[in-house]
Amino acid sequence: MTVEKTGTPSVKRMIEDVVGCKWSLSVIDMVKRGINRPGAMVREEDGLTTKVLNQRLAKLKRYGVLEKTIFPEVPPRVEYQLTDFGRSFVAILESIEQLQRRHFGADT
């Protein structure tokens, strides 16, 4: 991962890493739809393993797209939410999707 002097990942690298990864986009979409617990995510998405999910959640958290909440319960409960940055990032992805539909039709 490329890190700028401020200690944050470079924007170019983050976009390549997130947009170029089908699982990262799937995780973002699930959290956006309110599926925010790891077990529910694995059950929702065919082919997504716990190992891959945990890697993607950690990456999205590191990039500031998601935040993790650990509830002090037995058994422990963990949930992920979009950060302010994550919500802005989702809005950009949705704008790209609208642009694609406008120029290439609804079936693409």
Domain of residue 87, CATH code: 1.10.10.10
Q: What is the mean pLDDT of each run of 10 residues along the chain (108 residues)?
A: 52 83 94 97 96 96 95 93 96 92 77
pLDDT reported for residue 9: 66
73 contacts 66 by C-beta, under 8 angstroms: no
Question: Whole domain around residue 20: which residue ranges?
Answer: 11-104
Rounded distance, CA 35 to CA 50, Å?
Answer: 15
Domain contains 17: yes
Domain contains 5: no
Bridge-partner residues for 66, per DSSP? 82
Domain contains 4: no
CA 98 to chain centre: 19
Domain contains 1: no
Domain contains 70: yes
Domain contains 54: yes
If DSSP codes are grouped into helix, strand and coil, which group holds residue 85? helix
